[in-house]
A and B are shown apart, each in its own frame.
Chain A
Amino acid sequence: MISSAYAAAEGHAQSSGLPQFESSVFGSQMFWTVVSFFVLMYLLNRYVIPAINDILDSRSKKIGEDIQHAERARQDAERLLANYRDQIERARQLTATTLDEARIEAAAIREQALAELNEELSKKKASAVEEIERMRVQAMEEIREAAVELAMLATEKLIAKTVTKPKAESMVKEALDHMEQNRVGMRH
């Protein structure tokens, strides 16, 4: 029953065909399609497209400018970097030369100090040698004096009395002791 109802409905639809082919409404639809389209085109062309155009243009301009800015900043930074590198290099060279000079100077000072030390040492040595020599001469002088004295003493004794051999021996011993004493006293 329902299917026959559908059949009836279908029959009705088929009899009228597609509503799109009903030519009585063609004229007005054509007219209004054209009008609507041109109105839309006018409105978009007048209000929308220029706005989008402008904003896109200004954005691309802005991006271009930003890129230029960035490029310039990069160049500046590179120049600065080169500058700093240069300064560092110069500072390094300065340090190196200063260090070299200091080394040379230090060497010179050391040399000089060494020379002075050597000189002083040799002076001291010379004075010590001189002192030793002087003391040696003095000792010799004293020995000589002691010998003379001893000789004189012995002679005096010999002249003053005749001495026996033991006496003489004691006398010589005495003289020698005396001289020894003298010598010891001189050394002290």
Chain B
Amino acid sequence: MFLTATAISAEAAQAAAAAAPRMDPLHHFQVIRYVEIAPFGLDLFSISNSVLWMWISVAAVFAFFRYAMRQPALVPGRLQSIAEAAYLFIRGIVDENIGHGGKPFFPMVFSLFFFVLFCNWTGLIPASFTATSQLIVTATLALGIFFLSIFLGFYKHGLKFLGFFVPSGLPVLLLPLMVPIEIISFLARPVSLSVRLFANMTAGHTVLGVLFFFSATLPWIGSWLPFGFSVVFTAVEIFIGFIQAYIFTILTCVYINDSLHLHH
């Protein structure tokens, strides 16, 4: 009797697990290939949802600025003012963090900020995909910045750039300890840069996913709470999307500045 009951309940549990809505807040991080382009077995050009939303972000940034600046007027309209404010905002970041010699990097920093910002923001559209929640995407950007800063350092200062790892004003005895620490912290830069953005986006969207799941599956008497939270949290995510793009951009400028001016 007892045995059969447990057997039935186990079967029932399995059936329930199959039938019940499955909570999988990580599901929407799943990269799905739409078009597979893999010449010579190298899956390099496949177009996935991640790639598609990257493109949409790029198109949105360009469309916004192109539309805002379609007829630049001396007395700006609303959109033109926003575009100019965005431009001046990035120029402020570049001037503050790179300063002298920062001008050539302005287009890159400007594009980087809006690429990351719009990838963060388009991810909040229902049924969209957040490209910046993919570690490989943020890592690609971070590694690009990392190698750029190394290249700039050697290009500008030659072998003197290695002095970057030797903090000035330290007793010689401490150098064997400090130099490896400096090197490790330098190598950690792309890791922290990419993981920070990816983790923020992933965490935020996971929380949103959980909240949406509960507001969709709980009976009405309980669903308003997670639903309300999800509304508030979406606003928070918009803010976090901006803040993370800002931090990403500022750190990029700081790294470029270190390579240009060797501050240690």
Contact = CB atoms under 8 A, between A and B. Distances in A.
The 10 A-B residue pairs with the shortest CB-CB distance in the complex, in nearest-first order: A8-B17, A41-B111, A55-B72, A28-B46, A5-B17, A48-B65, A45-B107, A25-B31, A32-B51, A5-B20
Interface of B: 9, 12-14, 16-17, 20, 22-24, 26-27, 29-31, 33, 37, 42-48, 50-51, 54-55, 57-58, 61-62, 65-66, 69, 72-74, 76, 80, 83-84, 87-88, 106-108, 110-112, 114-115, 131, 133-137, 140-141, 144, 198, 202
A22 B65 contact: no
Interface in A35-74: 36-37, 39-41, 43-45, 47-49, 51-52, 54-56, 58-59, 62
A19 B83 contact: no
A30 interface: yes
Interface residues of A, number: 45
Interface of A: 1-2, 4-6, 8-10, 12-13, 18-22, 24-34, 36-37, 39-41, 43-45, 47-49, 51-52, 54-56, 58-59, 62
Nearest to B58: A40
A37 B84 contact: no
Q: Which of B26, B33, B133 has the most CB of A within 10 A?
A: B26
Given A33-B141, A34-B144, 13 more contacts: A1-B13, A2-B16, A6-B23, A8-B17, A19-B31, A25-B48, A27-B42, A29-B137, A32-B45, A37-B141, A37-B144, A49-B106, A55-B80
A4 B17 contact: yes
Contacts of B83: 48, 52
A117 B30 CA distance: 129
B58 A47 contact: no
Contacts of B33: 25, 28
Nearest to A40: B58
Nearest to A24: B43
Contacts of A48: 62, 65-66, 69, 83
A12 B115 CA distance: 34
A44 B111 contact: yes
Nearest to A14: B26
B47 to A, nearest CB: 8
A21 B136 CA distance: 8
